[in-house]
Chains A and B, each alone.
Chain A
Amino acid sequence: MQEQLFSPKDPQVLKAEKLQIASRRKKDSSLKLLFIAATSIGILALILLLATILVDGLSSLTPDLFKNYPSRRAASSGLKSALVGTIYMVLIMVPISFLIGVGAAIFMQEYAKKGWITKIIQLNISTLAGVPSIVYGILGLTIFVRGLQLDRSLLSGALTMSLLVLPVIIVSAQEAIKAVPNTRRDASLALGATKWQTVQRAVLPSALPGILTGVILAVSRAIGETAPLVMIGALTYVAFLPDNVLDQFTVMPIQIYNWISKPQTEFHDLAAAGIIVLLVMLLVLNMIAVILRNRFQKNL
């Protein structure tokens, strides 16, 4: 006699199982809605934020905003000195942080032997990335403003910012160098090139787009940072353009903060207009980063 493989189920049990499956499916679909709702909150927040800023700021976004210096009266206030200050600060910061950051990354990826020193440096870089930006401000105030007597100058600000963005540049440069295939290094060494020649001519050119992406990320971080520059004393009424690196200066986010902290609403609208300018700068930088990233991925 053939043995029955599947015994027919009691209809009552069958019904209970069907119900259970239905309720599990229902739970699945209802929680899916909840997850979608949660994700939309993030997107909604961004939309609300942009809408608030556009509504408040568009009316103050005039050519005068770029031509005028800050002033006691909202109508004749502008962000000329802040915009120029931000650009100058970035121009000083980028070469410093680029050279040190990429140098450190090359050392870590190409030269350093695996050992405790390397481990400590790596741990140190990730620790630095997590230090609150205001602590860098305290460092800059003590070392650059007071210690080296650079005062509340453009140079103090740029040096403080260079230290702040250093971990960003090192980590992204390390990733970019790591992504260069070893075949390139081997080919270069096999042709008789020295270690440094290999790094300089075989590794760096193909890591460059990735490194530049990191530099752009660092610049976008730097032009939005406010706290460390407030600490080193960039928040001053600056109605002139700095002509040398030891002049006092102000930057965009600090000018915006200055306007936000005034009680009159006209100044708040100016702040919103300044934020629009700042966000447009960030958007452009991010677009460049995306283009570079795509080119980088194609090249590899």
Chain B
Amino acid sequence: MKQPLSNHPFNNRKLRIAEYTMPVLLFLCAFISVLTTIGIVYTLFSESISFFKEISMSEFFTGTKWAPLIAPTSFGVLPLLMGTFLVTIIAMLIALPIGLASAIYLSEYASARVKKVVKPVLEVLAGVPTIVYGYFALSFISPILQTLIPGAGLFSALSAGIAVGVMIIPMISSLSEDAMRAVPKSLRYGAYALGATRLEVALQVVLPAALSGVISSFVLAFSRAIGETMIVTIAAGATPQMTGNPLNSIQTMTSYIVQVSLGDTPHGSLAYGSIFAVGLTLFVITFFLNILASAIAKRFREAY
């Protein structure tokens, strides 16, 4: 027989209220994360729109001179974009081969004992704050570059790019290793049974099977390098220019935003508005790269 509700040991007012209110409160918590995104998009767009009323979009996106603080002012974002991509490409040239090779070693060659030592070390490398990499770039990498290459300055895209590259190695190696470890053992055994060497198994069986995860890790690392701020602020200089020479001092989108926020740029001025336009450009680029990374990981995943 059903117990009458009033006698039920769990039936009290406080409990019933909690039962109704908690789901709502918890939903609000989850909704705050959505609000954060809305806040980011709204902030960037609304301030950028007033900036683009003064400076036309075509001037902003095709202009080759960035001089927001010195008269005559000029707002062409291409030098900042070029600086950003120069640093990012240098970083990828370093992190991609090293990260992938480490992933192959850890997933296909290393014994459990070696893994137990190497993986935490790479985790530590991933947890080092970017300001520390910035210091490392300025006080270790730059002086070495200066002795090796005559004419290299203290601030250069190369020095910052190398430091950013070191920073994203663990990201590529751990994400790629995860993807390679997810390839079923049976595929490897099949190849070994046919007489393949470890290298052939790694490059011709495991890597192709894990390719979507590996490429998605590259894209994520690329996006991370584009958004990296402190290393480039410290080590890449503050000279916005159209250059492909890695020994030059350059400026990236992120380090420009920092430069303006450090100065006394008055609220409401064009230079102040420009950080939102640059921030929006940065946000859109990284947003699409992140979407691309997850689309690659999902779409081309081989299901076994």
A residues with a Cβ closer than 8 A to B are: 24-25, 27-28, 31-32, 34-39, 41-43, 45-46, 48-49, 52-53, 56, 99-104, 106-108, 111-112, 120-121, 124-128, 130-139, 141-143, 146, 163, 166-167, 170, 192-197, 199, 220, 223-227, 230-231, 233, 235, 253, 256-257, 260-261, 268, 271-272, 275, 278-279, 282, 286
Contacts and interface: CB of A to CB of B under 8 A. Distances in A.
Interface stretch (B33-41, B60-68, B184-192, B239-247): B33-41
B29 A107 contact: yes
B43 A121 contact: no
A46 B29 contact: no
Of the listed residues A34, A48, A120, A127, the one surrounded by the most CB atoms of chain B closer than 10 A to its CB is A127
A134 B199 contact: no
Interface in B249-304: 254, 257-258, 261-262, 267, 275-276, 279, 282-283, 286-287, 290-291, 294
A193 B11 CA distance: 10
A163 B25 CA distance: 18
Contacts of B22: 196, 199
B131 A253 contact: yes
Interface stretch (B73-81, B85-93, B117-125, B207-215): B117-125
Given A226-B129, A227-B258, 11 more contacts: A27-B197, A32-B109, A42-B169, A49-B128, A104-B33, A132-B226, A134-B257, A134-B258, A135-B283, A199-B22, A224-B131
Interface string B48-76: 00000000000000000000000000000
B27 to A, nearest CB: 5
B267 A146 contact: yes
A196 B105 contact: no
B23 A111 contact: yes
A247 to B, nearest CB: 20
- Residues of B contacting A: mostly: helix
30 contacts: A24-B200, A32-B109, A35-B101, A42-B125, A49-B132, A49-B140, A52-B139, A103-B25, A103-B30, A107-B29, A112-B27, A130-B220, A131-B283, A134-B258, A134-B279, A134-B282, A135-B40, A135-B283, A137-B261, A138-B44, A138-B257, A138-B275, A195-B19, A196-B18, A196-B22, A197-B10, A253-B230, A256-B131, A257-B233, A260-B134
Given A46-B125, A193-B10, A32 B26 contact: no
B223 interface: yes
A36 to B, nearest CB: 6
B166 interface: yes
B121 A43 contact: yes
A138 B23 CA distance: 32
A196 B106 CA distance: 44
A80 B240 CA distance: 36
B105 A231 contact: no
Interface in B118-166: 118, 121-122, 124-125, 127-136, 138-140, 166
B105 A38 contact: yes
B227 interface: yes
A194 B10 contact: yes
B286 A38 contact: no
Contacts of A100: 29, 32
Given A39-B118, A196-B22, A127 B290 contact: yes
